[in-house]
Amino acid sequence: MIFQYHAKDNSGISRNGEIEAISQDEAVNKLQDQGLIVISCEIVSNSRKSEKNRMIKFILPTISILIVLIFVFLCFRYDPFILNKLESFFNKEKIVFKKAEAENKIDKQKFEKVYRAAKTLSATTEGGISYLKLSELNQDFLTEISILEDCVTTEKEKEVLGLYKRAYTTYSISEKVWKHIIKYNLDNFAKQYPSQAKKVFDNMKLMIDQFGLVLIPKESSYSGTMYELHTSQLSKIWNIADEYMNKANSIVMGKNPN
């Protein structure tokens, strides 16, 4: 270990320096053997060693990195094969990036007609609509979806087309439910075909459960308890259809869908 000392000789002159010893006592003894009067003797080797180690840990990796960089530079500078490989790698990365970017794009012009058909259908159901009008607008919506299907190319466009299709399917279910309400309502149909009237609503159970529709029980003199479905229940189906439609419309318009 290294010790730093401050001492005086027999003439009273100050002496400062360093001495190597196993312990502080040995360092003091060595100084006294030299005829010095020791004033202080402190170990300094540990801190210097730590500082030296830190410098080594910093310098060696830095030198290694510099050597590698110089080697790589020389390889790239004088080896066309490596340069070509590197250029090919970055070109491939660019292609992948551009492809991913393209797959996320929407051509608004392609979706213009189906977008308008969707908005018209949604607005009309909100403002009041007849069964025949619903059927007509939903058919127009399907026509535009079918035309669009042959035009979509990117993954994002396919995603939006899928949302429009789900909206159409849901509106079609509301059409089917409404048709049953008109054709098989209790007062007009049950009188002539009491057994069939109940079967119709039993067959609709899956749709009723799926959309949380509420059947109203009604006593009938023709076949006991019958059930009616009010047309106001259709709005529950339309709301779900509009969720698909609004999400698709938002993507087409470049907005973040909720």
pLDDT tens digits for range 156-188: 889 999 999 999 999 999 888 888 777 666 455
Q: Cβ contacts of residue 191 below 8 Å, gap of 6+?
A: 222
Number of C-beta neighbours around residue 245 at 10 A:
25
Question: Within a domain: residue 138?
Answer: yes
Please check whether residues 154 and 74 belong to one and the same domain.
no
Please check whether residues 113 and 93 belong to one and the same domain.
no
Task: Identify the pLDDT of residue 23.
Answer: 83
Q: State the Cα–Cα distance between residues 208 and 225, nearest whole angstrom.
A: 18
Residue 174, CA distances (Å) to 74, 116, 185 in order: 72, 20, 16
pLDDT category of residue 138 using cuts at 50, 70 and 90: very high
Number of C-beta neighbours around residue 248 at 10 A:
24
Considering only CA atoms, which of 218, 226, 123, 210 is closest in space to residue 174? 210
Task: Identify the pLDDT of residue 100.
Answer: 46
Please check whether residues 229 and 149 belong to one and the same domain.
yes
Please check whether residues 96 and 74 belong to one and the same domain.
yes
Please check whether residues 143 and 246 belong to one and the same domain.
yes
Task: At 35, list the tokens.
Answer: 């005829």
Question: Within a domain: residue 258?
Answer: no
Please check whether residues 24 and 92 belong to one and the same domain.
no
Please check whether residues 80 and 180 belong to one and the same domain.
no
Q: State the Cα–Cα distance between residues 137 and 90, nearest whole angstrom.
A: 51
Please check whether residues 90 and 211 belong to one and the same domain.
no
Give the pTM: 0.55
Of 35, 70, 103, which one is at a domain's C-terminal end? 103
First to last CA, the chain: 71
- State the virtual CA torsion across 180, 181, 187, 191 in degrees, nearest 10: 10
Contact 43, 5 (CB under 8 A): no
Question: Within a domain: residue 26?
Answer: yes
Domain count, the chain: 3
Please check whether residues 98 and 211 belong to one and the same domain.
no
Please check whether residues 197 and 86 belong to one and the same domain.
no
The phi, psi pair for 43, rounded to 5°, reads -75, 140
Contact 248, 167 (CB under 8 A): yes
Residue 28, CA distances (Å) to 13, 37, 162 in order: 18, 9, 90
Question: Within a domain: residue 53?
Answer: no
Please check whether residues 119 and 231 belong to one and the same domain.
yes
Residues in the chain, overall count:
258
Question: Within a domain: residue 52?
Answer: no
Please check whether residues 172 and 234 belong to one and the same domain.
yes
Question: Within a domain: residue 214?
Answer: yes
- What residue numbers bound the domain in which 167 lies? 109-252
Question: Within a domain: residue 81?
Answer: yes
Question: Within a domain: residue 244?
Answer: yes
- State the virtual CA torsion across 99, 105, 108, 111 in degrees, nearest 10: 90
Write out pLDDT tens, residues 85-131: 656 665 665 665 455 455 578 888 889 999 999 999 999 888 788 88
Number of C-beta neighbours around residue 205 at 10 A:
11
